[in-house]
A and B are shown apart, each in its own frame.
Chain A
Amino acid sequence: MTSRSTSPFAPGQIAIHLALAAGAVFMLLPFWLMIRAALTPEAEIFSGNMLTLGTVTLDNFRRVFAEVPIIRYYLNGIFVVVAIFLGQIVICVPAAYALARLHFAGRELSLWIVLGALMIPYQVTAIPVYVILAQFGLIDTRSALILPFVANAFGVFLLRQFFLAIPGSVFEAARLDGAGAFHMLFSVVLPMARPALVTFGIFSFVSHWNDYFWPSFVLRSDAAATIPFGIVRFLDAELGSDYGPQMAAATLAVLPLLAGFLLAQRQFINGIAMSAGQVE
């Protein structure tokens, strides 16, 4: 707002920094408390002022690795998230391309179906989808975590907008050269969609890595558990009031995404802000 030559050290500027810092204490305090407790010996967690770091230990992390199958949760999480995204590419990119650039009878209807699906939050389909998956014996499997999310109406919508913004002549030229359908997809459409896929990919990875709602519908054991489901299940069962290990487990759960966020801030913010577009 201050387009005049205000110094970064003007009183107004300092005041804004101070106000933002005060608010940031509230935003960052839980993170600090979590890390602090995770590194503090069990006996000292509630002693002292609870804010400063005293004796540092890795015992809490050792206990988590010894008692919680956290490596399995990580692997399950990675498997599920990657499988969902690969499925989304295979299903959504061709469909979005066809809806944007090919002419065929039924295109209008297909578009309406996609837009209709966009308006329904997935919480609303949870019970019936659970019933359908149960009929096929898929409860408590990783497939149950993957299949419902492969056809993502939002992804199709977004990619279609992206393809519409590319001049049609680019696609026409390739087609007139006699490129077959799959050649066209892999060597023309897919490479062009890369920027949109990066943003959509981050959105997809983050939302499914963090998801707790759907796993708590279709999972029963920790065989297929991802991080959020596994952690909660284990904490409630095994680490009831051992707050040190609890905080260590929470730290391990939060770590991958926070690291990703700090490394690729801009893409992360774009990707997560896109989840907002889901209701547009």
Chain B
Amino acid sequence: MTIVVDDAAILAEPSRPLPRRWLSRRLEPYVFVSPLLVLIGIFVLAPGLLTVVLMFFNVDILAGTWKFTGSRNIQQAIGRGEIANSIMVTIQYALLTVPASMVLGLLVALGINGLRVGGSFWRAAYFLPVAATLVAMSIVWRWMFLARRGLVDQTVGKWMGLTDWLNSSDLSLPAVAIVGNWQQIGFVAIVYLAGLAGVPKHLLEAARIDGASAWHRFWHVTWPALGPATVFAAVISSIQALRIFDTIATMTKGGPAGSSETLTYLLWKRGIYYFDIGGGAVVTVVLLAFALLATWIQKRASRRLERAGSR
């Protein structure tokens, strides 16, 4: 890349002497952009390539040795069955959190949107869990789910016989999912509230004059207008499910017997806890595939919405 320094050619203003600057106009954009690109290269692009390399190596960070092991990491990851288990657990977690938090978040948003007074108070109340430090609140939830003496066992446990959630392989994931919903509902509600602000008022009014019931007004006017908000909320909740870590790490540590071991938690356990960098790289590739899948689905869904909108 050759950079020619010729200020005068760009700025032909002969009446006034040009101020001397040590940075030419040609060079300026590169000075502004290159720090960003270098850092993205180091912390995003190079790691992306490095992951693929790491999959085929046995790396000892402390000794600084790299040993090529071919596809052994991948074979071991499949052989242990933990990847398949974590994919299933992650999908189950998504099924337990995405639909529920979307329906409840939409109901909260519709409620708040329909209020004459006090809407901002409820909005703050429902948003509070989103703003709170999740790992600290997980400590609180862990205590609420405490066997026998905790609030959940004292109430739900006595009424329905579901006790000791965090040490049960059937109930540990639902317990974490309850916290996930608790945190996600306010977020979804905010997305839907923004969507509701954009619902055409004149259409609602016209439907009302035509005598359409509240349900009909919702189904034929409000819901179609909320399309983009729905896609958005669905993708965010799914990505959130893919990223879930804090609650798992503090409440169940993936257990019992891997029953709540999501992909992100497995990533940490392999790479950091077992110090198995190659194994961690294999999990990373699976996680990346899911992340790209989510992005692809979002792109497709938004495109379909756009086409539907332009009909």
Query: Closest CB-CB distance, B22 to chain A, in whole Å?
Result: 8
- Please, what's the 1-or-0 string for A236-278, where 1 marks a CB less than 8 Å from any CB in chain B? 0000000100110110011001101110010011001100100
Q: List residues of chain B with CB within 8 A of the CB of A104.
A: 26, 29-30, 33
Q: List residues of B whose CB falls within 8 A of some A CB.
A: 1, 11, 13, 16, 18-19, 21, 23, 26, 28-33, 35-37, 39-40, 42-48, 50-51, 54, 59, 61, 104, 108, 110-118, 120, 122-137, 139-141, 143-144, 146, 149, 151, 154, 182, 185-187, 190-191, 194, 201, 204-205, 217, 222, 232, 235-236, 239, 242-243, 245-246, 249-250, 264, 267-268, 271-272, 277, 280-281, 284, 287-288, 291-292, 294-295, 298
Most A CB within 10 A of own CB, among B31, B132, B133: B133
- Asked if residues A257 and B201 are in contact (CB atoms below 8 Å), the reply is no
- Asked if residues A153 and B61 are in contact (CB atoms below 8 Å), the reply is no
Q: List residues of chain B with CB within 8 A of the CB of A156.
A: 36
Q: List residues of chain A with CB within 8 A of the CB of B104.
A: 23
* CA A117 to CA B40, docked complex, whole Å: 7
- Asked if residues A125 and B201 are in contact (CB atoms below 8 Å), the reply is no
- Asked if residues B54 and A27 are in contact (CB atoms below 8 Å), the reply is no
Q: List residues of chain A with CB within 8 A of the CB of B239.
A: 121, 279
- Asked if residues A276 and B35 are in contact (CB atoms below 8 Å), the reply is no
Most B CB within 10 A of own CB, among A95, A107, A265: A95
- Please, what's the 1-or-0 string for A14-33, where 1 marks a CB less than 8 Å from any CB in chain B? 00110110011011101101
Q: List residues of chain B with CB within 8 A of the CB of A265.
A: 120, 124, 127
Which of A102, A124, A180 sits near B284, CB closer than 8 Å? A124
* CA A19 to CA B45, docked complex, whole Å: 49
Interface segment out of the listed A2-10, A55-63, A191-199: A2-10
- Asked if residues A127 and B280 are in contact (CB atoms below 8 Å), the reply is yes
A231 at the interface (CB under 8 A from B): yes
A162 at the interface (CB under 8 A from B): no
Q: List residues of chain A with CB within 8 A of the CB of B114.
A: 1-2, 12-13, 16
A11 at the interface (CB under 8 A from B): no
Interface residues of A in 179-234 (CB under 8 A from B): 180-182, 185, 206, 209-210, 212-213, 216-217, 227-228, 231-232
- Asked if residues A27 and B48 are in contact (CB atoms below 8 Å), the reply is no
A150 at the interface (CB under 8 A from B): yes
Q: A3-B204, A123-B243, A147-B43 are in contact. List 12 more A-B contacts (CB 8 A).
A: A1-B114, A2-B114, A23-B108, A30-B144, A30-B182, A33-B140, A97-B32, A121-B291, A125-B47, A127-B277, A153-B44, A181-B21
Given A3-B205, A8-B116, check contact A253 B136 (CB 8 Å). Answer: yes
- Asked if residues A127 and B281 are in contact (CB atoms below 8 Å), the reply is yes
Which of A20, A180, A235, A253 sits near B23, CB closer than 8 Å? A180
